[in-house]
Amino acid sequence: MEMELAERLYRLMFTNMREGLVILRIDPDDGEGSPAVIEMNPAAVKLCRCRQFNFGNCKVVDCFPGWFDEDRLQETCKRLAAFGGMVELGEVSWGGSLYRARIFGLSEEHLGLVVVDVTRQKKGEAEIAALSAQIERQTAGLEKRVAERTAQLQEINEELDSFAYTVSHDLRAPLRAMRAFAGILLEEEQSEDERIAYLKRIQGAAEGMERLIQDLLAYSRVGRQELVLQRVSLSEVLADAARQLELTSWGKSYRLEVRDHLPDVVGHHTVLVQVVLNIMGNAIKFVPKGVVPELEVWAEDMDGECRLNIADNGIGIAPEHQERIFKIFERLHGIESYAGTGIGLAIARKAVTKLGGRIGVESREGEGSRFWIELKKAVPSS
């Protein structure tokens, strides 16, 4: 009775399995014959491609044409029938679905073939893989943004430290001078010439403080300004910068030479004019006494990039200071030697960086300097 119940339960399970189950038989006397199908459950019957299905006469390669390599399958079946075990036969795409097949030994002549529809599983795995890749990309992007933001905050903190020093020193210095000279005028008697001299010193201190405040505002604007990058003619940038240099040089003599035609780049005209003007303004300022400033400008093709060079015959910059000069409020010389606030090159670097470019200098002390700006070259006009 128990055997009959077990048989009924087995048949019930065999019939209702969602997986395809096929019972195969190999003929020990036929070493070249393909395994024959002797039974299969309804799930396997749905997949069978035999035109006239007949247990015992239908070969497994006829039921599932193209699914298996016949020679390899025969060899596998012989080995499993002799020694037992199970072998994965791989995955097959058929009828828009993906199936995984495995075969195992049952006896010296019989084997079991299980066919499982893994379409949903594979789809789920693909979705999980895609989601994991998306999460990795988002994580990498987030880490990059965090790193960029951390670098920005570090830069801001450094600028705040420099700003605190400037407020406590550079801005207070002219105020102390004005207060001292005003005190002298109020408390002591002076001749008309002395009084005029003190007033001029007060005026000079006020003008110096105004320049510093203006430069601070300019530096702040560069950081906040939203720039729309477009095609820019470096020839036009240099022409506008040269015109402004002539107005701001207060009649100081200098020579400016431009080699050949300058190409177009991707940038922002107004910002580049300010950058070039800052560099050329320094070039005519930082020269030995009695030397007429000479500026030479040319461009180089740098494999998709354009390098604009501005060379001078000035006092030069020692190698250890060539990075320092691009930091805000950095001055290599006392204000009594060369006027300035130490912000111009910091503005230039921040502006060029915002344009997606780079700026640097090559120089030797006492032998002049060559400042360079690298920007993306504009696509040639059609």
Predicted local distance difference test score (pLDDT) of residue 297: 93
Q: How would DSSP label each residue in 124-172?
A: HHHHHHHHHHHHHHHHHHHHHHHHHHHHHHHHHHHHHHHHHHHHHTTTH
- Spatial distance between the Cα atoms of 251 and 299, rounded to a whole number of angstroms: 28
pLDDT higher than 70, residue 107: yes
Domain with CATH 3.30.565.10 in the chain: 228-382
Cβ neighbors of 374 (< 8 A, separation 6 or more) are 302, 305, 306, 307, 308, 357, 358, 359
Residue 160 reports pLDDT greater than 50: yes
Query: pLDDT tens digit string along 174-186?
Result: 777 778 878 877 7
pLDDT interval class at 35 (50, 70, 90): confident
What are the beta bridge partners of residue 264? 233
What average pLDDT does this structure show over 303-331? 80
Model confidence at 191: pLDDT above 50:
yes
pLDDT tens per residue across span 285-308: 888 888 899 999 999 988 888 999
Judged against a pLDDT cut of 70, whether residue 83 lies above it is answered with yes
267 bridge partner residues? 230
Strands 230-233 and 264-267: antiparallel
Q: Averaged over 190-211, what is the pLDDT?
A: 77
What mean pLDDT is predicted for residues 74-94?
85
C-alpha 208/C-alpha 199 separation (Å) is: 14
Looking at this protein, which amino acid is placed at residue 332?
L
Q: What does each C-alpha distance from 2 to 5, 8, 9, 11, 56 come to in angstroms?
A: 5, 10, 10, 14, 29
Instruction: Give the sign of the dihedral formed by CA 173, CA 176, CA 182, CA 185.
Output: negative
What whole-number distance in Å separates Cα of residue 131 and Cα of residue 123? 12
What pLDDT is stored for residue 333 in this prediction?
Answer: 47
Q: What tens digit of pLDDT does each residue of 327-366 get?
A: 765 555 444 444 555 677 887 888 888 888 999 988 888 8
Q: Is the pLDDT of residue 100 over 70?
A: yes
Both tokens of 55, joined, read 């247990």
pLDDT at residue 372, rounded to an integer: 93
pLDDT at 76 over 70: yes
Over range 30-53, report the average pLDDT: 77
Q: What is the overall mean pLDDT for the chain?
A: 80
Task: Output the DSSP codes for 73-133.
Answer: HHHHHHHHHHH--EEEEEEEEETTEEEEEEEEE-SSSEEEEEEEE-HHHHHHHHHHHHHHH
Does 72 score more than 90 pLDDT?
Answer: no
**Distance separating alpha carbons of residues 216 and 211, to the nearest angstrom:** 9
The more confident residue out of 280 and 174 is 280
Q: What is the model's pLDDT at position 51?
A: 63
pLDDT score recorded for residue 99: 87
Sorting pLDDT into bands at 50, 70 and 90, what band is 223?
low
**Domain at 2-117, CATH from 3.30.450.20, 1.20.1560.10, 3.30.70.3270, 3.90.550.10:** 3.30.450.20
Pairing of strands 36-40, 20-25: antiparallel
pLDDT at 232 over 70: yes
User: What is the signed CA dihedral for 185, 186, 188, 190, rounded to 10 degrees?
Assistant: 40
Give the mean pLDDT of 93-99.
82
DSSP state of 290: T
Backbone angles phi, psi at 361, to 5 degrees: -145, 145
Per-residue pLDDT for 53 more than 60?
no
> What pLDDT shows up at residue 235?
92
* Model pLDDT, residue 65: 83
Which part of the chain has CATH 3.30.450.20? Answer: 2-117
- H/E stretch holding 60 reads helix 60-63
**pLDDT tens-digit series, residues 117-131:** 888 888 888 899 999
Q: What topology does CATH give the domain 228-382?
A: Heat Shock Protein 90 (3.30.565)
